[in-house]
Amino acid sequence: MGKGGRRAYAALSLVAAGALVLSGCSEGGSKEGSNKDDKENAQRQQSSIDFGDAKASTGPAAEVPGAKPGGTVTVLQRDSYAHLDPGQIYVSDEMALSQLIHRGLTGYKATSEDGKKHEVVGDLATDSGTTTDGGKTWKYTLKDGVKWADGSAITATDVRHTFERLFAPFVANGPTFIQQWLADTPGTGYRDLLKGGPYGGKHLPDTILETPDAKTIVFKFKKAKPDLPYALAMAGYSLVSKAKDTKEKYDKAPMTAGPYKIQDFKSGKSMVLVKNTNWDPKTDPIRHQYIDRFTFAFNKQYEDSTKAILDDSGANATAVSFNNEVDAGNLSKVLADATLKSRTVAGYQPYVGQIDINLSQKEMQDKTVREAIAYALPITPFVRAFGGTAAREVAGGLISPTVSGYNPNFDPFGKKKKPAGDPAKAKELLEKAGKVGLKLTFGYINTPEGQQYSTAMAAGLEKAGFDVQRQEIPAETYYDQVGKVKNNFDIYHTAWGADWPSASTVIPPLYDGRQIQDGAANYSHINDPKVNADIDKASTITDPVKAAEAWNKINEYIVKDVVSNIPTAYYKQTQIAGSKIGGLVYDDVIGGIDPRRLFVK
C-alpha cells in the first residue's frame, strides 16, 4: 500500500533501544540477501495483487481457526496518534489503527492464514470496481446496509464529500494520488480543481466524479488509471461522514465505520476502542470483531513494550503492539528461545530509510557538500540499533527489495562495503568545497532509539569535518515538523514504503518537485527538472517491466547525481505478543501484525 503508502512511523525514524551507543567507525552492516527466507519474502511482495469480484467481496470474513469472542487486549505503542482523520493518515502506525476503525470503497483481504496472499476486494463497495474503457472510468456501488457508528446510512453523498474535502487546504498529510488523477495534474496543482474543497458549496462536476443515486459512484479520469482499486484501499482514502465532518476537529474525533469505535482518546496518553454495534459482519469480507475492547497505552518505547510482553503475567499475557518491534537488546534472546519465538511474527516491511538533505537550506545546495555527507554518514549504528541483520539491511538505493525494479547491485557510495562510512573521502570533498567545519543541524526523533543512532551518526559526520548540532523533535509530531517546507533542519531521517508493489508510489510522492508543500512527502525539497520530466515519462509506461526499469533509473539518478537523499536501510521487523493472544500473523500488506484477526485465547 503502499502498503499503505506510507511513511514509516515506527520504522522511519524509529530506532531501537537496548544497545550501547556505537561509534561511527565501528564495523557491522548487513549482507545483501543474507537469508534465503528474506529473499523469498521480498520477491513474494513484488508480485501484483489481483482484483476480486462481487463474490470475493461478500462478507463475513473467513473465521480465524480457534478464534472465540471476548476479552480485552492491551496495545503498547511508542507513539500517540497525530491524525485520526482518514484524509490525514499516511504513516504506518495510524494505518494499522485504521484497519479497525475506518472503511473504504476497497480493501485488502487476506486469502491465506499466514498473511502472505491477498486480493483487493470491495469493502464498502460491492466489488473492487468495474471499468469498460481500460481504466478511465470506474464505477462503484455501495453495499446494502452499510452504516456509520452512529447508525446512519453510508451513502454516495459521503463518498463524494470524502474525495472533495481532500482538496481543502487543511488536508495536507494524506496521499494525493486520486486528487492528482482527477485533476489530471502532477504536484500540488490539483487543489485548483476545487479550491477550498466542498465547504463553500462548490462540487466536482459530474464529468469528473458522478453520484447519480445514493449508492453509485463513478470516477472519470482523462487518462487510464488501472491502479485505482489499489489506491482506494489506502487508509488515506477511507470514508468520512459528511454529516459529522468537523473539518480540522475531525482529526481527533472522527466518525468511524469499522468494527470498532473510539470510546476515549487522550492524545499522548491512552485510547480505548470498543465494539461498533452498527458494524455488520455480513458487509465486511476483511475484518473480525472478536475482541471486546482494545486499551492503548502510549509512550511505551520498544524496550518497554518488549519487557512487558516477555513478563507475560496479568494484562501482559494479552498484550501486543501494532507497530513496536522487539528491541535490539532482547531480539537475539527472543529468537534463540523456541518458546518465545513461537509468540513472534516477522517479515520484510516495504520501507526504505533515508537521510533527507534539506535543499531549502542554502549551504545544502552545494552538491560537493551533499556528497561529503553521503560518504561520511555511517549506517552501522542505524542497523545495529535495531538488532542487526535480523532487523535491517544496508540500503544502496531508494527502492525496496519488495518492489519491482529493485537493483541489489546499486551502491554508489559504497555503503554495503563500508557501512561505517568513509570519513577520509568525505573530508577531501569538504576541503575541496572550502567547507570544513560547516555546521549541520540534524533533526532527530526524541526517543531512546533516536538519541542513540543520531548520536553515532553525528560522530561519524564530525570525523569528516562537519560541526553537527543535534535537535530533538517529539515523536508524535515528527513527520509534521520535518514535513514543513520551511524547517530549520539540514538533515533528518525518514522512511517510506510503496503503497502497492510499484515504484510509481515511491518516486513521485517523494521526489517530484511539484509536490513540495507543507505536509507533503518531498522531505528533501528536491525540484530537479530532469527528475520531474522523467517522472512524467515513466507515468505513461503501461508495460510493468519497462515501467519498473524507468522508475529505477530515476532512483539511481537521485541517489548518485542529485545526492539529495542518502539511503540507510531496508526494513525487516520482528514483533512479539503475549501468550494468550491468538490469531497472530504478520501481514505483508500491513507490514506488521494484523490487528483484525486477533482474539484472546
What is the tens place of the pLDDT at every residue in 327-341?
A: 999 999 999 999 999
Cα-Cα-Cα-Cα dihedral sign, residues 273, 274, 278, 282? positive
Q: What is the mean pLDDT of the chain?
A: 91
pLDDT in the model for residue 390 = 84
pLDDT at 475 over 90: no
> Do residues 346 and 574 touch, judged by C-beta distance below 8 A?
yes
Q: Is 13 helix (H, G, I), strand (E, B) or coil?
A: coil
pLDDT in the model for residue 42 = 59
pLDDT in the model for residue 251 = 97
**Mean pLDDT calculated for residue range 541-553:** 90
**Structure confidence by residue, pLDDT tens digits, 123-140:** 999 999 999 998 999 999
pLDDT in the model for residue 10 = 32
- Grid coordinates belonging to 485: 517546507
Lowest mean pLDDT among 40-49, 411-420, 516-525, 579-588: 40-49
pLDDT in the model for residue 450 = 85
pLDDT at 232 over 80: yes
pLDDT in the model for residue 139 = 98
More confident residue, 25 or 280: 280
In angstroms, the CA 80 to CA 462 distance is: 33
Highest mean pLDDT among 21-30, 89-98, 155-164: 155-164
Q: Report percent pLDDT > 90 for the chain.
A: 79
Lowest mean pLDDT among 36-50, 106-120, 243-257, 395-409: 36-50
pLDDT in the model for residue 41 = 65
**Structure confidence by residue, pLDDT tens digits, 65-88:** 999 999 999 999 999 999 999 999
Q: Strands 439-445 and 467-473, how do they pair?
A: parallel
pLDDT in the model for residue 341 = 95
pLDDT in the model for residue 44 = 64
pLDDT at 314 over 70: yes
Q: CA nearest 570: which of 400, 356, 323?
A: 400
pLDDT at 11 over 90: no
pLDDT at 592 over 50: yes
pLDDT in the model for residue 37 = 67
φ/ψ of residue 148, rounded to 5: -80, 170
CB 542: neighbour CB atoms within 10 A?
Answer: 10
pLDDT category, 14, cuts 50, 70, 90? Answer: very low
In angstroms, the CA 461 to CA 480 distance is: 26
Q: Which residues of 433-446 are buried (b: 16+ CB within 10 A; e: fewer)?
A: bebeebebbbbbbb
Q: Report percent pLDDT > 70 for the chain.
A: 92
pLDDT at 121 over 60: yes
pLDDT in the model for residue 447 = 82
Phi-psi region of 84 (alpha: psi -120 to 50; beta: other; left: phi over 0): alpha
pLDDT category, 270, cuts 50, 70, 90? Answer: very high
pLDDT at 197 over 80: yes
pLDDT at 347 over 90: no
pLDDT in the model for residue 47 = 60
99 contact partners, CB below 8 Å, separation of at least 6: 235, 258, 287, 590, 594, 595, 596
More confident residue, 267 or 187: 267
Q: Which residue has the cell 549482507?
A: 31
pLDDT in the model for residue 36 = 65
pLDDT category, 1, cuts 50, 70, 90? Answer: very low
**Structure confidence by residue, pLDDT tens digits, 19-33:** 222 222 222 333 444
In angstroms, the CA 288 to CA 151 distance is: 19
In angstroms, the CA 492 to CA 488 distance is: 11
**Mean pLDDT calculated for residue range 317-323:** 97
pLDDT in the model for residue 275 = 98
Phi-psi region of 535 (alpha: psi -120 to 50; beta: other; left: phi over 0): alpha
Q: Is 453 helix (H, G, I), strand (E, B) or coil?
A: helix
Phi-psi region of 187 (alpha: psi -120 to 50; beta: other; left: phi over 0): left
Provide the whole-model pTM.
0.83
pLDDT category, 404, cuts 50, 70, 90? Answer: confident
In angstroms, the CA 574 to CA 569 distance is: 16
Q: CA nearest 107: which of 340, 286, 332, 293?
A: 286
In angstroms, the CA 328 to CA 387 distance is: 4
